[in-house]
Structure 1
Amino acid sequence: MPRPRILVINPNSNPAVTQGLEEALKPLGFEGGPELVCQSLAEGPFGIESQADVDGVAMPLRKLVEGDNRSAAFVIACYSDPGLQVCREGTDRPVFGIAECGVLTALARAETFGVIAIAQRSIPRHMRYLRQMGLTDRLAGERPLNMSVAETASGEGTLARMIEVGRALRDEDGACAIVMGCAGMARHRRPLEDALGIPVIDPTQAAVTMALGTVQFSAH
């Protein structure tokens, strides 16, 4: 019997983001456990930074999910959860969105949470989603890095800026946990948590952890 596989899809076409996901997910791989495979969406833009980008990858994501007969579960690794509902319509296997999973994990760790966004223009999109989830009462605030997805993935100067924004969310907005609002931030979770002294949630790790539990319990 082949090992069950969890496919983690980066909906943008930036290989540095996909590589960062692979690094961030290494602690979740274990002997005899599901295989974790990270894959870029070839049709995706270099970064998903607008509603047009979000809408544009929905159907390519669904085609990828529908055409995959190997994976036991899917994770859409973009904080806007693009195509999440249409992908769920296209398969009877579980599909996890990292924003949904990241926020739910934060709520399990703290009374209030803050979000570090890529850019100011991302925040209205994230707020619409939180209203749909009915969770705005637990949001302390959301603040932007004002960087591109590619800039956060490259790492130069990103952590210092994330610490600055994270401290403002903690000290000024009252956030008791932080959710990193982009898959490209994955490599900075541990040093950011060490600097802030409160839980920092990498949403991709949160989503894959949920997927692991679902697949493992389905197999036994």
Structure 2
Amino acid sequence: MSIIVINPNSNEAVTQGLREALAPFPKTECITLNSGPFGIENQADSDSVILPMLEVIKSRQDASAFVIACYSDPGLEAAREASPVPVFGIQETGVTTAMCRADMFGVISIGEASIPRHRRYMRRMGVLHRLAGDCALNMSVDETARGADTFARLITVGNTLIADGAESLILGCAGMAKHRAPLEAELGVPVIDPTQAAVAMALGTVFASHF
């Protein structure tokens, strides 16, 4: 069994952060889409990775499941059409997990430009009535993965969302993965790393298929 986690940007620091966040999970392999943009920060970036990512998916016939580790879930429907095994998007899975933990959830996004894209997706999911808010760090993908000030900014934005009624929070970028546990301890509400949530669901799906 092998769960292939695809970072569709070309920033290896993000992929390494995913490896560290997913270390407790068995049978996972994190890979970088080297042809992707350095960070996926707008719709054009998101759309640009779909075709090369599909080629990776088609080439990995050893996979038991795939996780697309970008909060925009780029190419999720196309990947599901192309793959004979389950494919999980981290936004879809993160939102589902957050709603299992609380009535109202909030999203911490990397930048203001991400918020309309997230809201369009959640509108299609039919869950906007459960969204307390979506607030931006106003940082790049790379800064969320490496920046010294990222955690302090996460606390500020997280508290804003809690004040707006959020009872659980989603980290709206794979680059934030390493901050999940300390942020949850600091804020006192469930904090969802969507890649961890997607890998957990992928593992459960694959295990269940054997019984």
TM-score, reference length from structure 2? 0.98
- Runs ≥4 residues deviating over 3 A: none
Q: Secondary structure at the match of 2:24?
A: helix
Q: Which amino acid aligns with 1:139?
A: L
Alignment root-mean-square deviation, CA:
0.7
Q: Which amino acid aligns with 1:83?
A: G
Residue in 2 aligned with 1:32?
A: none
Q: Which amino acid aligns with 2:78?
A: V
After superposition, what is the alpha-carbon deviation per residue over 1:165-188, rounded to whole angstroms, capped at 9, x for unaligned? 0000001x1000000000000000
1:94 aligns with 2:74: no
Residue in 1 aligned with 2:16?
A: 19
- Counterpart CA distance in 2 for 1:22 and 1:155 is 18
Residue in 2 aligned with 1:150?
A: 142
1:7-156 correspondence to structure 2 within 5 Å: 7-29=4-26, 35-156=27-148
Structure 2: tracts of 5 or more residues without a match: none
Q: What is the Cα deviation at residue 44 of structure 1?
A: 0.4
Q: What is the Cα deviation at residue 155 of structure 1?
A: 3.6
Q: Secondary structure at the match of 2:36?
A: coil
- For the Cα contact (< 8 Å) 1:59–1:86, is it kept in 2? no
- Counterpart CA distance in 2 for 1:186 and 1:219 is 30
Q: Which amino acid aligns with 2:197?
A: A
Q: In percent, how many aligned pairs have the same letter?
A: 60
Structure 1: tracts of 5 or more residues without a match: 30-34
- Counterpart CA distance in 1 for 2:83 and 2:161 is 38
After superposition, what is the alpha-carbon deviation per residue over 1:81-117, rounded to whole angstroms, capped at 9, x for unaligned? 0011111010121000000000000000000000000
